[in-house]
Amino acid sequence: MRKRLALLFAVAAALALELAAAPTSAQILRIAMTASDLPMAGGIPDQGAEGSRFAGYPIYDALINWDFTHPDEIVGITPGLATEWYIDPANNLRWIMTLRQGVKFQDGTDFNADAVVFNYGRSFDDKAPYYDAPEAPFNKAFLPMYDHIEKIDDYHLAIFTKYPFSLFPYLLTRMLIVSPAQYEKVGKDWTKFNLSPIGTGPFKITKIAPHVSFELTRNENYWDKTRIPKLKTMVLYPMAEATTRLAALRSGQVDWIEVPPPDSIPSLKAAGFKVSTWPYPHSWPWFLYQADGSPLHDVRVRRALNYGVDRDGVVKLVNGTVASSGASR
C-alpha cells in the first residue's frame, strides 16, 4: 500500500520537494486540495496559493523560478527560463534578461523571446489581440510596478518598471509562460486554452474532468533533468470541506490531503499517517469595524482585546498547527 500523507499548510516548495523525494516505484499520487473548484490551468491560476502550487508551478516555468532545493530554509529564487538577470547600469528601471536556450514547450515548439513578449502582453497589453481581459488582473495585482517589455534578440529582452523595485525578480515567479502555438491551435481562445494548456514545466496536463479532477503526467523531456518527477501521474481533486478530505484520506480515495481538521491529527498520527507542517512568513490581519462612537477608536481598548487572546491556548486547541505571535496597534 502506498504511503499516505496528511499535509498541513503546504507551500509550493513543500509539494515539489515531496515529489522529488518520492520513491521511483511510485506511479500515481492522488491529492485532495483545499480548493473549492479546479483552479484555472491556463497559466494564470486562481484559487489562491492552492491554484499556483497545483495548477501553476508543476505545469509551467517563469523566467525566474522558486528554489525548491533547500527544504530547511525559506524558499529563495533560482534561474528558470531566464539564466541570468541584472539592472541596466544606465537605467535602474530596465532589467536585462538572458533567456535559456534549447527549451521546448510540451507541444515541441521552441521557447524564445517572442514567447515571453506574447505572455507578458497577455496580462499587460490591453491593445494586443491576445490580451486576456478576464484573467489579466491576477497578474496585474502582483506586478503593479511593471511598465513594458522589449525584445532585444531571440534570447535577450528588457523588462521596464515604473519605479525602482529591488524585489522585482521575486515577483516575476508569478508570471508563468505558456505556449503561444497552443493558443493559436485552439483558435486563439483563452477559455479553450484553459482546457488543453501547454507549458514548459515538469508535469503536463493530460486530462481535465471539469469540477472533478486534473490528471498531470510526468514531462520526460523537461529541461531541468534534476527536477524530472519520480511520479508518473498526479491526480488532483478539489475538496474544500476538511472533513471530506479527511474521509477521502482514511478511505484510501486519495494519498495526500491538505489541512486536515486539527482535532484529527492525534488519531492520524496514531494510525501511522505522516503529518507535515512548514511555517512561512505571511500576514492574515483582522480589522475591527470602528463605527461612530465605538470604543474601538480608543487604542487602549484595541490593545486590551489583543492582550486578552490566549495565544498559547489557541496553539493547543489546534494541536500545534499554528505559531504563537501577535502585535497590537
The per-residue pLDDT for range 127-168, each reduced to its tens digit, is 999 999 999 999 999 999 999 999 999 999 999 999 999 999
Average pLDDT over residues 193-200: 97
Question: What's phi and psi for 60, nearest 5 deg?
Answer: -130, 165
Domain boundaries, the chain: 5-59+205-276, 76-185, 287-329
Please tell me the predicted confidence (pLDDT) of residue 9.
38
Please tell me the predicted confidence (pLDDT) of residue 282.
67
Higher pLDDT, 280 or 143: 143
Average pLDDT over residues 291-310: 89
CATH topology of domain 76-185: D-Maltodextrin-Binding Protein; domain 2 (3.40.190)
On the question of pLDDT at 4 being above 80, the answer is no
pLDDT band at 234 (very low <50, low <70, confident <90, very high): very high
Residues 51-78 pLDDT 10s: 898 999 999 999 999 998 887 788 899 9
What does CATH list as the number for 5-59+205-276?
3.40.190.10
pLDDT band at 283 (very low <50, low <70, confident <90, very high): low
Please tell me the predicted confidence (pLDDT) of residue 13.
34
CA of 317: how far to CAs of 5, 120, 321, in Å?
22, 45, 9
Please tell me the predicted confidence (pLDDT) of residue 290.
76
- CB proximity list for 247: less than 8 A, separation 6 or greater: 253
**pTM score:** 0.83
